[in-house]
Structure 1
Amino acid sequence: MNKNKILLVDDELNLRETISELLIYQNYSVKSACNGQEALDLLEYWTPDLIICDIMMPVMDGYTLHGIIKDIHSLNSIPFIFLTAKKEHNLMRKCLLDGADDFISKPFKIKELTSIIESKIERFSKIKNTYTNLYPGRKKVFLHEINTPLNGILGPIELLMENPKELDKKEISAFYESIKISGERLNRTMQNIILYQNLKNNFIEFNLNSSADILNEFLKTKEKILKIYEGQEKRISFEIDKATIKINSEHLQYIFFELIDNALKFSSNNKVIIVSGEQFNNEYYELVIRDFGIGFSEQELNKIGAAQQFNREEREQQGLGLGLFLSKIIIKKSNGVFTIVSKENEGTSIKIFLPLCDTPILD
């Protein structure tokens, strides 16, 4: 049975440790942060069932953190409880008016704390069970990404069944190819949704002893991508040094596929994308994926998240907008670092640092 997960945010170390120990003793899974920014960093790859947060903290206070979480679709239904001091009464009232679920005044009684936690987690569990939030984006986009490939499968099958003798081999082959392409698109859509749900609910275990040959996994992924971008092999320029990386090979292939596909998709056909990789230091390998496409504006960069797509209709965009978000989560859960620099109409550069295995690959 999975333990209920709690995120505790407080800048007082002693209080943080005391509450954490109490909750762990009561069979909760607890992660803690000393300020709002540290909490946001955790929330990028770990989703709790409840957040307990102090209001007054350095770097980022609890009120600011709550405001940010309210605007993140995948997080805004999580119960948010404030820890408050009496002198913060007016601010506490403002927090409740802005949608906080409850507050606990310092000093508090253990029974009061556990009672509130139990009731809020029970309510959140009912919400999750009745509204699964399968896809965090717009319903119209979700239905389009399901119906379009389905029609691409069912239409050709119907024609093949109705006119078996009237079609020549070339036409039949074209229909089969169309069915295959649509099937792969639908499969990718569903796999991304399943992966999103599993990551969101912390169902995937990340074995930090996993290893993968980065050049080998790139070449495998490149072959898959070129089946979609047929005849565009020259668009992918790469120089990747051999190394063994501490990451699951399937996860590495996923990252390569989604990020390279995005780079190709949002660049014109005459633009090359550059993939480079080399050992950064004794601990990390640096991977860079650079394109010269439409790029992101500064405002768009600050809003990148699950199912976030910009000007979808204008750009005739396919997909659910999950690939970049999920890649970022996988990298962080694999103890890697993800950064993105972009400029509108000039392109995007994604830089990734992944931990190296102790034993190098020999040529």
Structure 2
Amino acid sequence: MNKNKILLVDDELNIRETITELLLYKEYDVKTASNGQEALAILEYWSPDLIICDIMMPVMDGVMLHEIVKENQFLTAIPFVFLTAKKEDNLMKKCLLDGADYFISKPFKISELTGVIEAKIDRFEKIKNAYANLYIGKKNYFLHEINTPLNGILGSVDLLIEYKDLLAKNEIETFYNSIKLSGERLNRTMQNLILYQNLKSNSNEFCDDSSSEVLDVFLLVKEFFFKIYEGQEKRIVFDIDKANLKISQKHLQFILFELMDNALKFSSDKKIIIISGQQYNTECYELVIRDFGIGFSAEELKKIGAAQQFNREEREQQGLGLGLFLSKIIIKRTKGDFNIVSRENEGTTIKIILPLETFKI
């Protein structure tokens, strides 16, 4: 049975240790942070069922952390409970208006704390079960991403059946290819949704024993790309050193596909993308994916998240806006690092640091 997960954020060591000991006794899975900045670093690779947070802390206080969490679609539904002192009543009212779930005043009784925790986690579980789907927003991009390839498949099949005695061999081949591409697009959409839900519920396995050879995986992805982007082989320029990385082949394939696909989609047909890979230090490997396309504004970069798309109508992009977001989450959960630098109308550079596999003698 999976344990419920709680993130405890407080700058007072004694309080952290006391509450942690209690929560562990109650068989919760607990992680702690001494300020909001440390908490955000944890939230990049770990999704709790409840956040318990002090208000007044150095570096980043609880109010700022709460604002960031509530703006993040991946985190916004997680119950957020504040620990407060009596002198913080005005802040408490503000946070309630901003969507905080509950307040516990210091000093507090153990029964009060455990009661609140059980109630909030129980409600969160019901919400997750009732709304296990990804909310895409007011516009029906989700339906579009399902219906478009599905109509492509059904339409091609109908034509093959109706004109089976009139179609030439090359025309039949064209319909088969269309069905295959539409099926792959639909499958990709559904797999991304499944991956999103698994990551959100922490049910995805990230085994420390997983490994893959980066150049081999890249070549597999590149070969698949040429079937989608016909006649554009010369757009991908690469120089990747061989290395074994501590990440599964499935996850590395996903990351490379999504980031290369974004780079090509957001660049004109005349623009190349450059992919390089080399050992960063004795423990890590660096992958760099650079395009010279439309880029992101500084404001757009701050908003990158699940189902986040920018000017979809103008840019005619496909997909649900999950690829970049999911890639970042996977990289963080495999103990890697993700960095993106972009300028509008100049292009985007994504740098990925992944751990090298170490061989034991």
TM-score by length of 1: 0.96
Distance 2:356 2:137 in 1: 35
Partner in structure 2 of residue 206 of structure 1: 206
Partner in structure 1 of residue 331 of structure 2: 331
Partner in structure 1 of residue 286 of structure 2: 286
Partner in structure 1 of residue 121 of structure 2: 121
**Structure 1 residue 73 and structure 2 residue 73: aligned?**
yes
Q: After TM superposition, give the deviation of residue 135 of structure 1 in Å.
A: 4.1
1:115-171 deviations in whole A, cap 9, x for unaligned? 010111111111112222334445511000000000000011111122221222122
Residue pairs, 1:10-29, within 5 angstroms: 10-29=10-29
**Structure 1 residue 43 and structure 2 residue 43: aligned?**
yes
Residue pairs, 1:117-156, within 5 angstroms: 117-138=117-138, 140-156=140-156
> Which segment is superposed worse, 101-110 or 91-100?
91-100
Partner in structure 2 of residue 225 of structure 1: 225
Would you say the 8 A contact 1:45–1:199 is kept in 2?
Answer: no
What is the one-letter code of the residue matched to 2:311? N
Partner in structure 2 of residue 59 of structure 1: 59
For 1:277, what is the secondary structure of its paired residue? strand
Would you say the 8 A contact 1:246–1:355 is kept in 2?
Answer: yes
What is the one-letter code of the residue matched to 2:217? E
Partner in structure 2 of residue 171 of structure 1: 171
Distance 1:142 1:174 in 2: 27
Distance 2:176 2:187 in 1: 16
1:184-224 deviations in whole A, cap 9, x for unaligned? 00000000000000001000111112111111111111111
Q: After TM superposition, give the deviation of residue 46 of structure 1 in Å.
A: 1.9
Q: After TM superposition, give the deviation of residue 73 of structure 1 in Å.
A: 2.3
For 1:252, what is the secondary structure of its paired residue? helix
Distance 2:138 2:230 in 1: 31
For 2:312, what is the secondary structure of its paired residue? coil
Residue pairs, 1:296-335, within 5 angstroms: 296-335=296-335
What is the one-letter code of the residue matched to 1:75? L
Q: After TM superposition, give the deviation of residue 359 of structure 1 in Å.
A: 3.7
What is the one-letter code of the residue matched to 1:33? A
For 1:281, what is the secondary structure of its paired residue? coil
Q: After TM superposition, give the deviation of residue 44 of structure 1 in Å.
A: 2.3
Distance 1:137 1:281 in 2: 42
**Which blocks of at least 5 consecutive residues in structure 2 are unaligned?**
none
Aligned-residue identity in percent:
72
For 2:318, what is the secondary structure of its paired residue? coil
**Which blocks of at least 5 consecutive residues in structure 1 are unaligned?**
none
Would you say the 8 A contact 2:136–2:142 is kept in 1?
Answer: no
Please give the root-mean-square deviation of Cα atoms over the aligned residues, in Å: 1.3
1:246-285 deviations in whole A, cap 9, x for unaligned? 1111111111111111111111111111000111111111
Would you say the 8 A contact 2:340–2:349 is kept in 1?
Answer: yes
> Which segment is superposed worse, 141-150 or 104-113?
104-113
TM-score by length of 2: 0.97
**Structure 1 residue 85 and structure 2 residue 85: aligned?**
yes
What is the one-letter code of the residue matched to 1:162? E
Distance 1:21 1:201 in 2: 24
Partner in structure 1 of residue 268 of structure 2: 268
Partner in structure 2 of residue 98 of structure 1: 98
For 1:53, what is the secondary structure of its paired residue? strand
Would you say the 8 A contact 1:266–1:293 is kept in 2?
Answer: yes
